[in-house]
């Protein structure tokens, strides 16, 4: 079935619909060459229409092992060529079958280079996926649907749960409480692999409830949307600042900045991909990172605050990491874990583990 992607400025891109379905959301692009299932199941993409710049998608199929959350939260998928036959020893089904099972509207045979160039030039914008013969009245109706902002509530876990450490299983294993704003499974695994036992709690758990669990440290996870849309979470973080060691990732990094009195802003088209270079200002070393965010911490707003910028983006100079000058608190804007992406940044989990061990 012929279909098309229509952007709010009237731009239109033709393709083929995998199923008879429509979709509405913010159109973003990811530059990674692999990791499409991890992208589709990363809660940080909640309510978005995701475009992949790499032209051939689906060649290694799909498998439960690649899932990063309980299900997909994306509103739609826009790609070039959809590979019909997967070839991988881990594959359990084709990408097409996975998309059908997860009810993800997919438009393929699209000139994704053109879509990406448009978004880079004009910035992220609302878009819809529809059949080619959709009446204009229906198009207008879909385009009028506001983009969902209550996305953290949509992705966070409903009930708390525990995860044991992997490898080290002693009684001295540090206890980390993870505030789940949309956490990826491999972020949790990264902490388990350095010997932490975890309690994952809903995003809107209060500081008092978190401290009652007697954690050795707190993880502020990644997640979707504008950090200013969750003031309750900012208040919770503010009440935890001088209580326990804290590690923030992506949205958690932004929430930490807001809790400290800094500011955040929306990027023109965000950073999304598994090939984003980040420079550690303390050592001069450049790491290749996996990223997925549309907002950033305003570096100017950090002036006169007890926060040191530790990492910056090589591409545009935005803040990619910071550390408190007195308290055991640090954060990064990118994803330390390697799904999808390289494993350059796994050392951050070890740093947090060492911080907990010191009791800092």
Could you say which of 26, 38, 86, 337 is catalytic? 337
- Whether 196 sits among the annotated catalytic residues: the reply is no
| 311 part of the active site | no
Contact assessment for residue 174 and residue 213, using Cβ atoms and an 8 Å cutoff = no
Question: From the candidates 253, 271, 324, 335, which is the catalytic residue?
Answer: 335
Half-sphere exposure of 93 (CA within 13 A, CB side): 13
Considering the candidates 86, 106, 250, 324, report the single residue annotated as catalytic: 250
Q: Burial code of 264-285, b = ≥16 C-beta within 10 A, e = fewer?
A: beeeebbbbbbebebbeeeeee
Query: Is residue 335 annotated as a catalytic residue, yes or no?
Result: yes
Residue 347, both tokens: 């050392």
Cβ-based neighbour number of residue 234 at 10 Å: 18
**Whether 175 contacts 214, CB under 8 Å:** yes
Q: Is 254 helix (H, G, I), strand (E, B) or coil?
A: helix
Using a 10 angstrom Cβ sphere, with 0-12 exposed, 13-18 middle and 19 or more buried, the burial of residue 61 is buried
Residues tagged active-site: 250, 335, 337
């Amino acid at each position: 079935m012929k279909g098309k992607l229509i952007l709010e400025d009237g731009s239109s891109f033709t393709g083929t619909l995998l199923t008879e379905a429509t979709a509405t959301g913010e159109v973003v692009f990811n530059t990674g060459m692999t990791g499409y299932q991890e992208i589709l199941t990363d809660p940080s993409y909640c309510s978005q229409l995701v475009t992949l710049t790499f032209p051939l998608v689906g060649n290694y199929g799909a498998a439960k092992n690649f899932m990063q959350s309980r299900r997909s939260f994306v509103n739609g998928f826009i790609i070039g060529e959809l590979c019909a036959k997967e070839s991988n020893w881990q594959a359990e089904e084709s990408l097409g079958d996975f998309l059908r099972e997860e009810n993800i509207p997919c438009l393929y045979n699209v000139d994704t280079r053109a879509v990406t160039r448009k978004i880079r030039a004009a910035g992220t914008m609302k878009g819809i996926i529809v059949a080619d013969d959709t009446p204009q009245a229906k198009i207008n109706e879909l385009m009028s649907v506001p983009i969902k902002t209550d996305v953290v509530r949509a992705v966070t876990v409903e009930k708390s749960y525990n995860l044991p450490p992997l490898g080290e299983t002693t009684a001295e294993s540090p206890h980390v409480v993870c505030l789940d704003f949309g956490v990826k499974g491999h972020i949790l695994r990264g902490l388990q692999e350095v010997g932490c036992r975890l309690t994952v709690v809903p995003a809107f758990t209060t500081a008092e409830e978190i401290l009652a669990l007697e954690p050795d440290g707190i993880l502020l996870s990644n997640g979707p949307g504008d950090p200013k849309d969750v003031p309750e979470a900012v208040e919770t973080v503010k009440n935890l600042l001088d209580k326990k060691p804290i590690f923030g990732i992506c949205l958690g990094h932004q929430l930490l900045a807001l809790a400290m009195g800094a500011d955040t802003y929306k990027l023109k088209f965000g950073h999304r991909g598994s090939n984003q270079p980040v420079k550690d200002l303390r050592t001069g070393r450049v790491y290749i990172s996996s990223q997925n965010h549309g907002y950033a911490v305003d570096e100017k707003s950090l002036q006169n605050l007890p926060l040191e910028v530790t990492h910056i983006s090589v591409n545009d100079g935005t803040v990619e990491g910071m550390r408190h000058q007195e308290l055991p608190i640090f954060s990064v804007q990118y994803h330390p874990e390697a799904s999808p992406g390289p494993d350059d940044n796994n050392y951050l989990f070890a740093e947090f583990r060492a911080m907990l061990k010191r009791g800092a």
